[in-house]
């Protein structure tokens, strides 16, 4: 079931009083920048790891057959590499709609990948308490699920493969993403 979080995000965190906000992207926000930004920088956040445990009923799947997309789960001594964008608050009208299926935004600290410092910014996370959450599964089960899922934004496999490519371009390793990618490619042999 789709879980629309647009109003909840806007009510929880009005941003009108800010000139700009940093946003951390760890999934499709790394490679699909369909929004204006002032600047972008590779970044990472500590205490989190990327997992394909969130259902996509509106982009990479349908309400009847949701796809699987990335979310973050808390994990001590872990880090997640992604891309940070400095944006103006008006961009969140689009981003809140794009990330509406169970994702809530909150402020957290992230560090620049080049080691030049940290910044407070927003990240969207779809936690286990949202209706679209699919939960843990093996990398093979996730790959099989992704292989058969298609939605209005295209095949679920495209999301995974573009994310894996983007992570390599950031010179980072994500064992979870790369294991799913390997399993998915093996299914297509």
Tell me the residue ranges of DSSP E strands in the chain: 21-25, 39-56, 67-87, 104-112, 118-125, 150-151, 154-155
Q: What is the DSSP string of 105-156?
A: EEEEEEEETTSS-EEEEEEEE--TTSTTB-----HHHHHHHHHT-EETTEEH
Catalytic residue from among 64, 74, 99, 131: 99
| Radius of gyration in angstroms for the set of CA atoms belonging to the chain, rounded to a whole number | 16
| Nearest alpha carbon to residue 147 among 137, 138, 155 | 155
109 is catalytic: no
Altogether, the residues listed in the chain come to a count of: 189
CA nearest neighbour of 151 among 65, 76, 34, 36: 65
3-class SS of residue 101: strand
Measured between alpha carbons, how far is 170 from 49 in angstroms, rounded to an integer?
Answer: 16
Q: Which residues form the catalytic set?
A: 99
């Amino acid at each position: 079931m789709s879980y629309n979080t647009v109003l909840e995000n806007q009510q929880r965190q009005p941003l009108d009083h800010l000139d700009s906000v940093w946003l951390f992207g760890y999934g499709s926000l790394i490679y699909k920048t369909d929004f204006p930004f002032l600047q972008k920088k590779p970044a990472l956040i500590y205490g989190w790891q990327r997992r394909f445990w969130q259902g996509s009923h509106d982009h990479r799947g349908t309400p009847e057959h949701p796809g699987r997309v990335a979310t973050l789960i808390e994990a001590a001594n872990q880090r997640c590499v992604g891309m940070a964008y400095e944006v103006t608050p008006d961009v969140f009208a689009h981003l809140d709609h794009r990330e509406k299926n169970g994702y809530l935004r909150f402020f957290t600290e992230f560090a620049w990948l080049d080691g030049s410092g940290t910044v407070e910014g927003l990240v969207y996370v779809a936690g286990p308490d949202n209706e679209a959450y699919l939960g843990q599964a093996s990398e093979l089960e996730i790959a099989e699920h992704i292989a058969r899922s298609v939605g209005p934004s295209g095949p679920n496999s495209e999301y995974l493969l573009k994310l894996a490519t983007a992570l390599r371009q950031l010179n980072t390793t994500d064992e979870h993403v790369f294991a799913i990618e390997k399993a998915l490619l093996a299914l297509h042999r």
